[in-house]
Every structure is written in structure tokens, then in C-alpha cells.
Amino acid sequence: MSEPARILLAHGGGGLLTERLLRDHVLPILDNQALRDRGDAAVLATPHGRLAITTDGHVVTPLCFPGGDIGSLAVFGTANDLAMVGAAPLAITAALILEEGLEIELLRRVMHSMRAAADAIGTCIVAGDTKVVERGRADGMYITTTAVGAVAAGVDWRPARVAPGDVVIVSGDLGRHGAAILVTRADLAIDAPLISDCAPLWPAVAALLAAPCEVHALRDLTRGGLAAALHEIAGACGQIIELDEAALPVSQPVHDVCELLGLDPLHCACEGRFVAFVKPDHAAAAVAALRRTSVAVDARIIGRVTAGPSADPVRVRTPFGTLRILDAPRGEQLPRIC
């Protein structure tokens, strides 16, 4: 792929082009240790302990979808990035960009949804900003949320800590958020209801913290799905991740929608799922702890880390015993999914 001179939709897909955009035009210019760590949130040492901070822009369309809306997505999405480094949010801020003509009633609905989401995870939205742009310059509303939290004592979860032998655990079924948005957008008539998995991950992370298991890294599955997340981790740790295809949890409705639209469920977004990389003899304890929480009741082992590096670091072992390469998402199959 030669490098485009302008931004493409695919630069926002969370896959190969997003990675190159950041690697070539953003990270080297802003360069610092926190960015080099490539975590879901930056961990900062302060005189008062270690703080985690993260920020997210939300441009999902439609603004409301089965299982959530842009407000709950913004709060949970940002809090989930903090959870991935072992921090619960102390406070959240929100910047609203509203389009001229947006119905006040819809704004109120989204604000109630943000409040309920913050209440559910025991935090508050303590500061914000509101801007209005002309009709046609934004699609109803965009929301940017920032969250800050204290990292739990003794926790050091980073992609670079993932090591050969680590067991890969996923917290639940794959691709449901992306499939639910697509069904809503395309107004597809399907038999089974498809509801986004949009949910707070902290209860599952708290269960891991309390369990007798050594965790090396967590990553939430968002844009680009499981494939994008595993490529990010493999890129950061230099190892190979081998998945067991038969163990990958994809529900029948998600499978059917993806087949209909020509998508790979492993590239399809989640908003309430994560992968954990756990020391091999601690995997059973980790799965048992996760399954005691409602958000991770279907947690399971899906693969293992082997010694890298490799140009194709993410692979899937098929039920026939053969290995196929799982590519990072290349284009943008689902713009504006989160």
C-alpha cells in the first residue's frame, strides 16, 4: 500500500492504516514514554501514587442503537480503557460538539444515559465543554470523554509484559457491538435481536485483581475487533499469538449478519469485551474469577502466546489442525462504529 496524502476513512478503522498514521505522523512528533508504552491508558507516577488517564472521541451513528447510545458508549468506553491498566475512574470529563438543529430532547436523553452510566460505575462527570457547529458540520453530536483514575497497588499490566507461554482469555462473545450497529443502520430484518455488548468492564477487572492469578496485560476489544487488539499486543511484545478457532465465541446472529455483509466477526467491534494475557498455570483461576461476574460470564481460553517475532504474528489453528494467518483489518469495513 502506497501512502495516501490525505486522510481516508480507513485511517479511523483501528487497523493497519490507523497504526501507520499514528506510527508515522502522530507518535514520533508527540513522543514521550507514556505514548511509547502504547497502553489503553497512560500511567503517570505522581507524589500521590500512580494515576491513569485516557481520552476517547465518539462519533457513532446512529446516536441511539440497541443496547446503548453515544452517551453510555462514551462513558463506558473511556472507563474501560482505564480498567485495562487496573484503574477505576475517579472522575470523567465530557466535551460535547452539537450540531445546529439537534433536538433538545435527544440531548437530554443522552445526558441521562451518561449520568446513568457514570452512576453504574461509581463515578461522576465533573467537567465539560459545549460547542455548537453549523447545520451539516456534525452529525447530531460528537462526544469526547476523558477519565482519570488511581492504578490499583502492585498492578503493572502492559502489552510489553506479554511472554511466550501466556494463555489468552476472552471475556465473552465477539463482534456484537459492530453487528448491532450495522443491523440498525441498514435496517436489516433479522430473526434474533442483536443487542450491543456495550458495558462497563471494571467488575470483571476487579475480579481478576482479587483472584490468585498473575496477569501480564489486558486490552479491550473495540474498533477492529479481536484481530486489531491482538495485532496491537503482538506488535508491542514481539511474540506470536495463536488462537484456537473452535474456542472463539461468535453467536449465531453475529455470525449470520457478518456472513450476509461479507465481514469477519474477528474484525467486528465489541464495546464490553477484553482479552487477558495470563501466566499459564494461573489461567483456570482467572477464567473462574471472570465467570463469577455478569459481564464476563462466558469468559474462556482462546489461545496461547509463543515465541516471536514474526511478520504474521496472529494465527488461528483450525479444527483441521492447519494454521491460517489472521490479518489486522486493512480498510474500514465499519466507519463510525464508536
Answer for which of 56, 69, 81, 232 binds Mg ion (CB under 5 A) is 81
Q: Choose one: 67-75, 79-87, 205-213, 301-309; the region binding Mg ion (CB under 5 A).
A: 79-87
* Rounded Cα–Cα distance for residues 193 and 94 (Å): 31
Q: Which is nearer to Mg ion, 41 or 97 (CB)?
A: 41
Closest approach, Cβ 80 to Mg ion, in A, equals: 7
Q: Which is nearer to Mg ion, 19 or 81 (CB)?
A: 81
* Residue 40 near Mg ion by CB under 5 A: yes
* Residue 69 near Mg ion by CB under 5 A: no
Q: Choose one: 126-134, 144-152, 217-225, 326-334; the region binding Mg ion (CB under 5 A).
A: 217-225
**3-class secondary structure, 46:** strand
Of the candidates 85, 273, 94, 82, the residue with the CA atom closest to the CA atom of residue 174: 273
Count of residues interacting with Mg ion (CB under 5 A): 3
Residue 282 buriedness (CB in 10 A; 0-12 / 13-18 / 19+):
middle
Q: Are strands 68-69 and 64-65 parallel, antiparallel or unpaired?
A: antiparallel
Task: Pull the grid cell for residue 265.
Answer: 466477526
DSSP state of 115: H
* Rounded Cα–Cα distance for residues 206 and 95 (Å): 28
Answer for which of 19, 166, 220, 332 binds Mg ion (CB under 5 A) is 220
Q: In 10 A of CB 20, how many CB atoms?
A: 14
Beta bridge partners of 323: 317
Closest approach, Cβ 2 to Mg ion, in A, equals: 29
* Residue 19 near Mg ion by CB under 5 A: no
Q: Which is nearer to Mg ion, 81 or 166 (CB)?
A: 81
Closest approach, Cβ 274 to Mg ion, in A, equals: 8
Closest approach, Cβ 40 to Mg ion, in A, equals: 4
Q: Which is nearer to Mg ion, 173 or 220 (CB)?
A: 220
Helix H or strand E encompassing 82: helix 70-83
**Binding residues vs Mg ion (CB under 5 A):** 40, 81, 220
